[in-house]
Amino acid sequence: MTENLDPFTISQIQLQDACKLKGYDHQLYEALSEPERFVQIKITMKMDDGSIRTFKGFRSQYNSARGPMKGGIRWHPEESASLVKALSAWMTWKTACVDIPLGGAKGGIICNPKGMSNRELETLARNYIRQLADFIGPNIDVPAPDVYTNPQIMAWMMDEYEKIVRKHAPSVITGKPLALGGSAGRSIATAKGGIFTIREAAKDIGLDLNGAKVVVQGYGNAGSWAAKILQDDFNCKIIAVSDSKGGVYNEDGIDAYKAAEQKEKTKTVLGLKGTKDLTNEDILELKCDVLVPAALENVITRENAEKINCKIVAELANGPTTPDADHILYDNQILVIPDFLCNAGGVTVSYFEMVQGYYSYFWTEKEVFEALDRVMTNAYRSTVKQAKEFNTNNRMGAYMISIERVVDAMRLRGWL
């Protein structure tokens, strides 16, 4: 039988497994297994060439028991309702895992932003918010950037929302530019948070990060910053990186900044001087110490899990590993830092951005990262402890902590 790679099905399998480990019955599983609300919208707009295009968009609001819901907006040609629902579930477990007072949501538009002008991007952003304004807000649901969206798009979205409610409401959105109430450190927060967990994981397995070999699959915001920070702060050797067009490899090391410059200039890391080309499949199977999947979901599957040849998998991407692959990596004693723990730095600093916005008082980058380190290290330690106690993998450890927190909040509210 082929492996089911539908993202929402995968998120439900994981939840089911975690509920079993916790001893939760089917009624509790059902209470946790679908979004509270799922909104589908249609955006019709004029393109620069005069043609009319219609786009499909989504917002999935999964669980609000612990606070206003929170989650990014992806613009991608392969966006789907199932993916947005899965990502909104993972956001719920993520905010609970790092114990910040927020719920989980996610949004997306099926589109190819790479082929659009600035005016088209702005029109799409403003339309999305107009359609969803009744469902979002600083105390309801707070969007943020994700794949192929950025601070400029967040600024347009915030401005559109403020026009509708006719007042300043900066905490309706996070990941804003600094000049509009963004937080210091937000743009590198996902990578920075992931690296705090890699540092802890390396300590646990006695891996010296100085000179450790690192492979980064997906050289976008999260991946490229992870490479730069691992190189600068820990003297790691980045031996391969990739993007949607393919990967580049040099056993003696690739300069993370030069790779970023190459991608900035030519839109791909391919062709970087002194490197040899590899496919995205090959780069995942390279022998290394730390493998960082930082692109999209379902890249480590039943098909290739046996060939993963590293000590730590640090999942900066959401959903890179399937449930079958999880079992194989666990049996092979590869330490996995699961996605909703490893990449929680972004939402944590988004939460700091909301707090700073409420107070209209802004922290230094040093203050942001010190607070982030405390949150990430605590979450990593609790996850590993829970996994050990139940003799299970770290993903299940993280799930068990998170679902218990969500269930407690639902019980206290009288929902259960």
The two beta strands, 213-217 and 104-110, are unpaired
**Would you put residue 274 in left (φ > 0), alpha (ψ -120 to 50) or beta?**
left
CA distance 270 to 279: 10
* 3-class state of residue 204 by DSSP: helix
Going 159 to 294 to 323 to 112, the CA torsion angle's sign is positive
CB of 184 to ligand NAD, least distance (A): 15
- Closest CB to ligand NAD among residues 93, 219: 219
> Measuring CA to CA, how many Å separate 312 from each of 10, 203, 329, 330, 398?
22, 11, 10, 11, 16
Query: Site for ligand NAD (CB under 6 A): which residue of 86, 132, 296, 308?
Result: 296
Instruction: From 57-65, 158-166, 271-279, 316-324, give the range in contact with ligand NAD by CB under 6 A.
Output: 316-324
Give catalytic residue positions: 106
Q: Given the rule CB under 6 A, which of 19-27, 55-63, 103-111, 217-225 is the region that contacts ligand NAD?
A: 217-225
Nearest to 318 by CA among 293, 336, 301: 293
CA distance to 14, 222, 392, per residue, from 336 (Å): 15, 17, 12
Please check whether residue 100 is in contact with residue 348, taking contact to mean a CB–CB distance below 8 angstroms: yes
Q: Which is nearer to ligand NAD, 57 or 220 (CB)?
A: 220
Per CB under 6 A, 343 contacts ligand NAD: yes
Among 317, 372, 387, 401, binds ligand NAD (CB under 6 A): 317
Q: Which residues inside 179-208 make contact with ligand NAD, applying CB under 6 A? A: 190
Binding of ligand NAD by 353 (CB under 6 A):
no
Among 221, 262, 321, 383, binds ligand NAD (CB under 6 A): 221
Task: With beta carbons less than 8 A apart as the criterion, state whether 400 and 22 touch.
Answer: yes
Closest-approach residue to ligand NAD (CB): 220
CB 389 within 8 A of CB 374: no
Binding flag, residue 227, ligand NAD (CB under 6 A): no
By CB under 6 A, residue 146 contacts ligand NAD: yes
Size of the residue set binding ligand NAD (CB under 6 A): 23
> Quick check: 219 binds ligand NAD (CB under 6 A)?
yes
Residue numbers at the binding site for ligand NAD (CB under 6 A):
146-148, 190, 217-223, 242-244, 280, 294-296, 316-318, 343, 346
